[in-house]
Chains A and B, each alone.
Chain A
């Protein structure tokens, strides 16, 4: 019921936006865009004949794998192509004004005030030596938004021809100032009491939430008062008397709180290192939207963040751009995320647009083989597919190939790894108390199955993995491998343990020695354990490469020549070299594009089916869990909050935290056409 209501509402709001957009024409019109890069005397065609339109207030997503030209297209619009990149053909029109060939100083007028950017990496895009507020201020000053509206219009009248003074046509731009706020509340309250309005307290609570210093306008205040029951004249007189325009600090705080930072005035005085990744991204959103651009380019704004944070930030950005009427060009590699957020999707592959159209239509009827591939690979959609299939009584096990063992088998199979009351404490620098990274965690991995540990960054899941790998000493608690206590291992017994329990790490760029050829990398474990002679080792390396579906020709290559997914497959081959029983995957697919991620997950599933491997799978992404795990352990702040089979966790999550994680899976509400 709820779903259909939502659908109707969505449809209604879409038709409204539709009519508005139609009358105004596209805000951004990109036609046959061509971008070339020059490297070592070669020309690389990064973007070829790419065309798309963005309408006012619309979210348009460009989807594709890394190297598909999606970011390059967006950066061309901003005139910020890196290095040797150059637009060599086509046209880009912003409000009908041609951007190709614009001079550097003209482009400066466009950037910031007309096109904003929320960059990909929140860690490196804020200046570490400047306060957050100062960086927002910079954005305002660079676009001449640092004076109150009156002053600006006066200026504009004085210098009639000055183009640098931009006057926005939006409503009243006088914001509430911090010193006006108490007076405003008092006036509102007494006015409401005068007319004997109902629920005054509740209305005042609502006003408290709405009237953000430096963000809420005089017009907004007046509208709110009218809605509360005051007549127009009274409402406007209160608004005019008490909303007299904010100063710079108020405005900065207002922008930050719009972006979803609580206690913004204090936050504005802090430095980037005091912010978490999600908070930094919010600050960057405030910077990007500071000058109220008509178009915001969001270049994978959340791919560096946890899924729950991703959802919160995108929800907030969505609400904010809706209320401001900002159009968003959203770059992502996840089709599920794109379809959930955007009305129009542009799929790019190898520099070309291979498919575009209304997002649901593209998602439900993908026609280009590449789009179909993306739809099949998206983990969010895959888990959605499993749910839908189950609801329709289809045999879900067909979709979950790894579930080869029946439930009965599960009960009987023995435990390969058992963890009991595991605790790890770290000493914090300059602090007396110990920090509990892992707090009393117990679980066990059954032979031939996959146990996933899920949690946000900082939940202690990787610390558990490192302790199980005997790379970290637990503070207390026991870990058993095949019933033997890990703490008793040393020398030969430790070497034996290493032979049977192998890791695959998160960062495919860091876990292979760049000085080692692929052959040497895969051969290393055989050498360490003194297995075979040169010839038999080479034979084994060939077998392993074949196992992970890599050509033998890569043996002489070095890690820097391979993509992230290929390196991860090499890391899996190395882990498989000693025929282990258990593989511990620490965020093994988190850094990969969806297609490659899907490929690696399939590989892991196949290897498990063939060899009866057991996996301990650490991830922050519940969508991936559905594809691979039999059992799930959910961790939060070092504690185990939920432990159940995958189906139970997905169908009947017991903890609110688990429900939040499930909610955060992008594309979770999409209808794939299975219902």
Chain B
């Protein structure tokens, strides 16, 4: 009905009935008050505020990240580490494998700022070239874990029922195996192989469970949201819902998990190499270098210090980044 008819019908009949309606005298401070219209101009009912720029959840998260000093520092560090991993030759002209026993445990000189290790190899160039091994193992493992664990978790969470029961039990079995212990046992069989893939696969095999669990719960939560029912009623198939609605809405915890665990995989690789069952000495890696330098802790700590510091800074950078991403994507801080 239009405002016109409404007001007419209201006003028209009110005049007749005024006399019989009982109005008590208002108490002090409760007299009739009507604010002047100038003070509160009337806006349209439920009008859209066009002044505020449009933002998506991702844009919002990005805005939060850009303002977070923790993220800026960690991102700069991470980018630097990745650059070193991609183009180590830009940072040193020295070949990490060219060792001269004459230089054994030599102090730092110009061009060789970190000095030499027991074998007479340049520590600086070994740290630089070791980056590639560590970072590529970290990133590849994270990718594989995310794809493999994410897929299993998504399938379990989405289909539920017996599919979920079986997959969840399998996940539980793997969850019961400590990652390092399992990796040590498994890698014993491939001691001779010099490929980084053996480490990537081993870490993936024992690392996917956490990702599967997180994806499963995120998918189960997103599955029950009303917009899925809405899409089904629009004619969308369940599988289409999974890929178009449910997975995009479960991405946030998956991304957080991935960035946070990247650092862990780098540490695990270093640990395995340190234990001597990771990469062969023919491949330069921080873990291997830390392992060979451990006996020098009391006499020449600097040889141990540099690869350890590189490892610590890299891991710290990725874990801090994960923390910042978590803050930005945390569903609790979302304004919905």
Whether both chains belong to one complex is answered with yes
Partner-B contacts on A (CB < 8 A): 7, 10-11, 14-15, 18, 21-22, 26, 29, 51-53, 55, 343-344, 349-350, 352-358, 360-362, 364-365, 367-370, 372-373, 375-376, 385, 388-389, 392, 394, 398-401, 469, 471, 494-495, 498-499, 502-503, 505, 507, 509-515, 517, 524-525, 528-529, 550-551, 553-554, 556-558, 560-563, 565-566, 571, 574, 578, 595-596, 598-599, 671-675
Q: Is the interface of A mostly helix, strand, loop or mixed?
A: mixed
Tally chain B residues at the interface, Cβ within 8 Å.
58
- Set of chain A residues within 8 Å of B230, measured between Cβ atoms: 503, 505, 511-512, 571, 574
> Per a CB cutoff under 8 Å, which of A356, A376, A578 touches B6?
A376
Known: A355-B33, A358-B23. A558 touches B336 (CB 8 A): no
**Which residues 26-70 of B have a CB within 8 angstroms of A?**
26-35, 37, 39-40, 42-43, 45-46, 48, 50, 52, 54-57
A contact residues around B35 at 8 Å (CB) = 352-355, 368
Q: For B3, B25, B33, which residue has the most chain A Cβ atoms within 10 angstroms? A: B33
Majority SS at the chain B contact face: loop
Which residues from A are CB-within-8-Å of B46?
563, 565-566, 595-596, 599
Q: Interface residues, chain B, CB within 8 Å of chain A?
A: 1, 3, 5-7, 9-10, 13-14, 17-18, 21-35, 37, 39-40, 42-43, 45-46, 48, 50, 52, 54-57, 225-227, 229-236, 240, 245, 248-249, 334-336
Please name all residues of chain A whose beta carbon is closer than 8 Å to the beta carbon of B40 when the two chains form the complex.
349-350, 352, 354, 368, 370
- Shortest CB-to-CB span from A232 to chain B, Å, is 35
| Total residue contacts A-B, CB cutoff 8 A | 200
Given contacts A353-B35, A510-B227, 18 further A-B contacts (CB under 8 A): A14-B24, A18-B25, A26-B29, A357-B33, A358-B24, A372-B7, A373-B42, A385-B6, A398-B5, A471-B233, A494-B235, A507-B226, A515-B56, A515-B245, A517-B54, A517-B56, A528-B231, A595-B46
In the bound complex, what is the Cα–Cα distance between A373 and B336 (angstroms)? 28
Nearest-CB distance from A261 to chain B (Å)? 33
Q: State whether A53 and B30 are in contact (beta carbons under 8 Å apart), knowing that A471-B233, A560-B336, A562-B48 are contacts in the complex.
A: yes
Complex Cα–Cα for A394 and B6 (A): 13
Asked if A29 contacts B29 (CB within 8 A), the reply is: yes
Residue contact B13 to A553, C-beta cutoff 8 Å: no
Verify A574–B5 contact, CB threshold 8 A.
no
Contacts of B57 in A (CB 8 A): 514-515, 558, 560
- Complex CA distance for A376 and B1, rounded to whole angstroms: 10
Query: Is the CB–CB distance between A528 and B235 below 8 Å?
Result: yes
Which residues of chain B are near A525, meaning CB under 8 Å? 234-235
The 10 residue pairs across chains A and B that have the minimum distance between CB atoms: A510-B226, A53-B29, A357-B32, A498-B235, A673-B14, A557-B54, A513-B227, A565-B46, A525-B234, A354-B35
Could you list 20 A-B pairs, sorted by A, with CB under 8 Å? Answer: A18-B25, A53-B30, A344-B30, A356-B32, A364-B14, A394-B9, A399-B9, A498-B234, A503-B229, A505-B230, A515-B56, A525-B235, A528-B235, A560-B334, A561-B55, A566-B46, A596-B45, A598-B45, A673-B13, A674-B17
In this complex, what residue of A is CB-closest to B334? A560
Residues of A within 8 A of B28 (CB): 22, 26, 53
- Complex: how many Å from CA A30 to CA B8? 36
Please tell me which one of the listed residues A356, A400, A509, A563 contacts residue B33 in the complex, with CB atoms under 8 A apart: A356
